[in-house]
Chain A
Amino acid sequence: MNHRERIITVLNGGIPDYIPTFELVFDETERDFEGRTWIGGPVDPDIEGMSYADKIKYNAKLYIDVAKRFGHSMIFVNRNLGIHENKNETGVRDTIMEIRNQSGDEYMLMCHNDPTFMIPFNNMEDFCFNLMDRPEYMHEVARNNVKDSKRICHEMLEAGADGFILCCDYCFNSGPFISPAQFEEFIAPYLKEAVKYFKNAGAYVIKHTDGNIMPIIDYLIDAEPHGLHSLDPMAGVDIKVIKEKYGDKIALCGNVDCSLMQTGTRDQIRDSAEYCLKHAKHGGGYIFSTSNCVFRGMPLESYDLIHEIWLANREY
């Protein structure tokens, strides 16, 4: 069973040889990868004179090296080349193609493609006023977003992607940013339509959102993605509860507490990782990961610790 087959088994609700792992984003790369950082990421490397094709090869190799080093079974191509990419260039698509060139079918390859409304961090007032004052306009925007996502779906699948991680965040620690009724009207139907379309096109789909998803989780389940990420314990999401209630309907990913990995003790981090493995392992359908990502500034000793715990407990 290779990495890709392992993830596919899990997303189809089966039991693989061992629990796979991955990270949505892995930005702390200098220590283990000869000082390399992502082109277009938080700390750009020196790429003076590098061609577009070489930039793509550079990032593709770094994605593969991160996966190899930490045993990740799934690679999420989370970024294009940022300011190093021209308007006519298509960094994500080309990075996917290059990863396939370099690693064949070894890894599950995913990218962004979420057409739904998310917490509007930069224009919250405009978004909310439109939602309350101009609902028809907002439905039109939502419909157009779904239409665009269908086009992107085919482009990315043709490039070699296996599917999508839908990364629009819906929730704060306290709960969703809009009411469950508004969620039902403005997000749920469009999420369901997009997921159904992607799956019919042959894509695998994982829905990601931070925060306390419990007030809207039934809508997420009803959309029928293959998996649900990140199961945020900082917001009180308990993987044991989710596994018991929804484990037969959807694969689960995440729940190892990122906040503790930043500021907690080794014992607290260990407890969080072991809790996830203990309660989500049985019956398959679990992908081990942090409750968000390995963001810039996270102490890598924390990631090393949960990696060791995963290695020691991953076998079925």
Chain B
Amino acid sequence: MKILDTISEMLQKGKADEVKKLVQQGIDEGINAKIILEDGMMKGMNIIGVKFKNNEVYVPEVLVAARAMNFGIETLKPYMTEHENIAKGKVVLGTVVGDLHNIGKNLVKIMMEGKGLEVIDLGVDVSSEKYIEAIKEHQPQIIGFSALLTTTMINMEKVVATIKEAGLRDKVKIMIGGAPVTEEYCKTIGADIYCSDAASAADAAIDVCAN
């Protein structure tokens, strides 16, 4: 349907008001809300994710696209049934204890939500105990921590150890990322998934939740 392509296109351009209007128009024309979400908005967000990964678009374009998506979702919400609201999976995210940076983590959240995952954001400077509580409370498939600083990256190992000690290691996949983090470091500390960018993190999360 042409209107879905237009929604996708406007979302990629960050045109929030247009997305809102088009979503309402789609509803008024009788298009199913889930189809508008998946074949219009999420399709657009996925394209933005791929372009971001390839350095074809940058953080500002991603953020305005996410803003447009949020506008569209707000319009769509009253028309979604409970069944249609079911997320494709659940992820808990946070910046590791000692680190106050949240840009990378926020981008991962945007990309994951753009793929239909439910994301619980614990914020920055998240202690091991908070991660443990969140795993117990939300029972996510994935728990993710990021760090911008080399000095705080080393706290990831402590979080992994605490999750093991709490007997929760086989309940979640552990995903890590951030500027100083490497695949090698991921293996060293016993985490499961390293991702070098936000779009890859969202792709990897979808793979985990699908299996």
Contacts and interface: CB of A to CB of B under 8 A. Distances in A.
Interface of A: 119, 121, 124-125, 128-129, 131-132, 172-179, 182, 210-211, 215, 234-235, 258-259, 262-263, 295-298
A231 to B, nearest CB: 15
Contact of B60 (A132, A175, A262): A132
Given A263-B154, A296-B151, A175 B55 contact: yes
Nearest to A232: B179
15 contacts: A119-B103, A124-B103, A128-B60, A128-B64, A132-B64, A173-B196, A178-B59, A179-B58, A182-B60, A234-B179, A262-B153, A263-B150, A263-B153, A295-B151, A297-B151
B60 A178 contact: yes
A185 B31 CA distance: 41
Interface of B: 14, 55, 57-61, 63-64, 67, 101-104, 106, 149-151, 153-154, 179-180, 182, 185, 196-197
Given A128-B64, A173-B196, A259 B150 contact: yes
Contacts of B59: 124, 128, 177-178
B180 A234 contact: yes
B63 A174 contact: no
B198 to A, nearest CB: 9
A123 B90 CA distance: 26
Given A175-B58, A259-B182, A263-B154, 20 more contacts: A119-B103, A121-B102, A124-B103, A124-B106, A128-B59, A128-B63, A132-B14, A132-B61, A174-B55, A177-B58, A178-B59, A179-B60, A215-B55, A234-B179, A259-B180, A262-B154, A263-B150, A263-B185, A295-B149, A295-B150
Nearest to A296: B151
B196 A174 contact: yes
Contacts of B103: 119, 121, 124
- Which of B14, B57, B179, B196 is packed against the most chain A CB atoms within 10 Å? B179
B200 to A, nearest CB: 10
A125 B58 contact: no
Contacts of A295: 149-151
Contacts of B102: 121
Nearest to B52: A174
B161 to A, nearest CB: 17
Contacts of A258: 150
Given A129-B67, A174-B196, A298-B151, A262 B55 contact: no
A41 to B, nearest CB: 14
Contacts of A298: 150-151
Contacts of A125: 63
Contact of A262 (B58, B63, B106, B150): B150
B179 A124 contact: no
B151 A262 contact: yes
Given A178-B58, A234-B180, A129 B150 contact: no
A258 B148 CA distance: 13
A5 B101 CA distance: 39
A121 B153 CA distance: 17
A297 B59 CA distance: 30
A296 B149 CA distance: 10
Closest 3 CB pairs of A and B: A297-B151, A128-B60, A262-B150
A189 B77 CA distance: 44
B151 A179 contact: no
A29 to B, nearest CB: 15
Given A121-B103, A263-B185, A182 B58 contact: yes
Nearest to A125: B63
A173 B180 CA distance: 9
B55 A121 contact: no
Contacts of B182: 259
- Which of B61, B106, B182 is packed against the most chain A CB atoms within 10 Å? B61
A235 B181 CA distance: 11
B151 A124 contact: no
- Which of B60, B102, B182 is packed against the most chain A CB atoms within 10 Å? B60
Contact of A124 (B63, B196, B197): B63
Contacts of B14: 132
Nearest to A128: B60
